[in-house]
Amino acid sequence: MTTLPEPKPGASEISARPLRILIAKPGLDGHDRGAKVIARALRDAGMEVIYTGLRQTPEMIAEAALQEDVDAVGLSILSGAHNVLLPRIAEALRERGLSDVPIFAGGIIPDEDVPALVQAGIAGVFGPGSPIADIIAFIRARTPARD
Amino acid sequence: MSLNLTRRDLARLITRIENGERGAQEALNALYPHTGRARVIGITGAPGSGKSTLVSEMARAWRLRSGLDQPQVAIVAVDPSSPFSGGAILGDRIRMRDLYGDSGIFIRSMASRGALGGIAAATADVVSALDAYGFEIVLIETVGAGQLEVDVARIAQTVIVVEAPGAGDEVQAVKAGILEIADVIAVNKADREGVAQTISALQSALDIAPANGHHGARAATELASDDGTGWRPPIVKVSALNREGIVELLAAVDTHRDYLVATGEGERRYQQRIESDIKARLRELLLQTAMRRITQIDYQAVLAAVGQRSLHPAEAALKLLDSLHL
């Protein structure tokens, strides 16, 4: 009788490790259509999307990213408060030791604001009309297999 | 906390367990002696019955209990994976935003990843990790469940089935397999019309269930709940949205726990649980081992024969088993 292999949970069902992506809406605007469109598109690309809903504070987003152990954080913001909120979210993630988790943002973000946001740790900024394929490519490029 | 792990470590460990990654089983082996302390409570029910909001309110209410009775609470919320892309949208946190800021609460969303029983294949091991970490209460929220998604009963000590007025008429209540795993029934959205009808439909469904037949059916599926020792699932009216009835619901869960202890039913279920867990894992390992040892020639031969309908699949499986010379 040969020795049995190490048991693996659900080994027969799991072929590849799905990426886990947090999609959150910081700030006070109540329009989450864009966030939902992105969430659907990422799901259809085979990712597991944790959607946290409206009116999230930077701390709520960072805490959710930690508990859910996500590979990337996507933020949708239409309120105009991006210059304040997005750097605060990057900071809240850093405080929790999550500085290696890439952050991307979409919504109404003027081009002139982008360099400062990149400087603050927002690795990808996707304005209105950005092809979803670009966002998926961004995530795949920034999330090499950990481990 | 019983282990020297940060919350981040715990979160990463859960990912490794979910993915069956290298080292995950070794970690689980090491954690296993630290498990068995948590109260594991399953919450299941139809889509839209308000499970997430109810789970959130239960966690909040437990955290509001005073003194030594204020437990650390973990929530495992399972949502379905897409059968087409394998992706998932996990949206249970939307209804749990009120829990933010309490470091005694940990929420983890899980995709079902092809499992059909209402939870994921790795949910039991994830619950073990949370138990070992020191969470005294672990709440498992299943996918929106109907009549077949009853696997949570294999993990939880107490199963709460959530019903909502209008969601199921009398016929639904009678046939719904999910009622058979209920230890406590929560009728949510009790502020709405039709609560009285829903409750009376549930009462008659519980009345109709013949005690003996019930017992036999359940023993067969190892999901025993009403085993004839006298537990009838209490029906508790709640409105998670208005925070009404939550304290009463927790009291019903406590009463069920006391019943499990007092009657020895808890121990009996625990023995059943570990036995069915070992069997399920053995089944998986045997299949893997067999598939490695069956030669391609034998395998392709029976595949062709079954395809031509000259061999029944059952005979094919027997032939393959014989080829292993066990």
Model confidence at B167: pLDDT above 80: no
Query: CB burial class (10 A; 0-12, 13-18, 19+) of residue B67?
Result: exposed
Closest CA to B326 of A2, A86, A42, A143: A2
Q: What is the rounded distance in angstroms from the CA atom of residue A5 to the CA atom of residue A25?
A: 44
Q: Kindly give, in sequence order, each residue whose CB lies less than 8 Å from that of residue B235, ignoring residues fewer than 6 positions away.
A: B185, B187, B199, B202, B203
Q: What is the rounded distance in angstroms from the CA atom of residue B40 to the CA atom of residue B159?
A: 9
Question: Nearest CA to CA, how far is B89 from chain A (Å)?
Answer: 5
Query: CB burial class (10 A; 0-12, 13-18, 19+) of residue A129?
Result: exposed
Task: Tell me which chain A residues have a C-beta less than 8 angstroms from the C-beta of B117.
Answer: none
pLDDT above 90 as % of chain A: 67
Q: What is the rounded distance in angstroms from the CA atom of residue B187 to the CA atom of residue B198?
A: 8
Task: Tell me which chain B residues have a C-beta less than 8 angstroms from the C-beta of A18.
Answer: 86-88, 111, 113
The least confident of B9-13, B127-131, B198-202 is B198-202
Sheet containing strand A48-51, strands side by side: A124-126, A103-107, A72-77, A20-24, A48-51, B88-90
Which of A9, A44, A55 is nearest residue B122 as measured by Cβ atoms?
A9
pLDDT at B217: 37
* Backbone dihedral angles phi then psi of residue B160, each to the nearest 5 degrees: -100, 120
3-state SS of chain A: helix, strand, coil percent to 5? 40, 15, 45
A39 contacts B97? CB cut-off 8 A: no
Q: What is the rounded distance in angstroms from the CA atom of residue A49 to the CA atom of residue A64?
A: 12
**Which of B6, B17, B18 is best to mutate for the A interface (most A CBs within 10 A)?**
B18
Model confidence at B227: pLDDT above 70: no
Digit-coded pLDDT (tens) for B68-86: 668 999 999 999 999 999 9
Closest CA to B223 of B148, B122, B125: B148
pLDDT at B219: 40
Touching B: A residues 100-139, CB under 8 Å: none
B120 contacts A14? CB cut-off 8 A: no
DSSP secondary structure string, A69-118?
T-SEEEEEE-SS-HHHHHHHHHHHHHHTT-TTS-EEEEES--GGGHHHHH
Question: Nearest CA to CA, how far is A122 from chain B (Å)?
Answer: 22
Question: Nearest CA to CA, how far is A115 from chain B (Å)?
Answer: 30
Closest CA to A77 of A87, A68, A69: A87
B87 contacts A45? CB cut-off 8 A: yes
Angle among Cα A68, A62, B21 to the nearest 5 degrees reads 25
Q: What is the rounded distance in angstroms from the CA atom of residue B253 to the CA atom of residue B183?
A: 8
* Backbone dihedral angles phi then psi of residue A74, each to the nearest 5 degrees: -110, 135
ipTM: 0.86
Digit-coded pLDDT (tens) for B96-143: 988 988 989 999 999 999 888 899 999 999 999 999 999 999 999 999
In the numeric block, which tokens belong to residue B102? 């309490």
B98 shares contact with chain A (CB less than 8 Å): no
CATH architecture of B7-265: 3-Layer(aba) Sandwich (3.40)
Which of A12, A59, A69 is nearest residue B14 as measured by Cβ atoms?
A69
Q: Give the domain ranges of chain B.
A: 7-265, 281-323
Q: Are B78 and B142 in contact (CB under 8 A)?
A: yes
pLDDT above 90 as % of chain B: 67
A4 contacts B289? CB cut-off 8 A: yes
Q: pLDDT band for position B183 (50/70/90)?
A: very high
Closest CA to B235 of B174, B164, B176, B171: B164
Angle among Cα A5, B120, B152 to the nearest 5 degrees reads 110
pLDDT at B207: 83
**Which of B15, B22, B53 is best to mutate for the A interface (most A CBs within 10 A)?**
B15
Q: Enter the pTM of the model.
A: 0.88
Model confidence at B216: pLDDT above 60: no
**Domains within chain A, CATH numbers bracketed:** 20-141 (3.40.50.280)
Task: Tell me which chain A residues have a C-beta less than 8 angstroms from the C-beta of B125.
Answer: 9
Task: Tell me which chain B residues have a C-beta less than 8 angstroms from the C-beta of A20.
Answer: 15
Q: Are B1 and B120 in contact (CB under 8 A)?
A: no
Q: Of residues B263 and B167, which shows the higher confidence score?
A: B263
B176 shares contact with chain A (CB less than 8 Å): no
R_g of chain A computed on alpha carbons: 17
Q: Are B175 and B201 in contact (CB under 8 A)?
A: no
Model confidence at B22: pLDDT above 90: no
Q: What is the mean pLDDT of chain B?
A: 88
Q: B284: nearest CA in chain A?
A: A12
**Which of A1, A2, A3, A14 is best to mutate for the B interface (most B CBs within 10 A)?**
A14
Query: CB burial class (10 A; 0-12, 13-18, 19+) of residue A130?
Result: middle
Model confidence at A28: pLDDT above 90: no
Task: Tell me which chain A residues have a C-beta less than 8 angstroms from the C-beta of B7.
Answer: 66-67
Touching A: B residues 263-282, CB under 8 Å: 281
Question: Nearest CA to CA, how far is B171 from chain A (Å)?
Answer: 35
Task: Tell me which chain B residues have a C-beta less than 8 angstroms from the C-beta of A53.
Answer: 91, 93-94, 97
**Residue with token string 């990790």:** B129
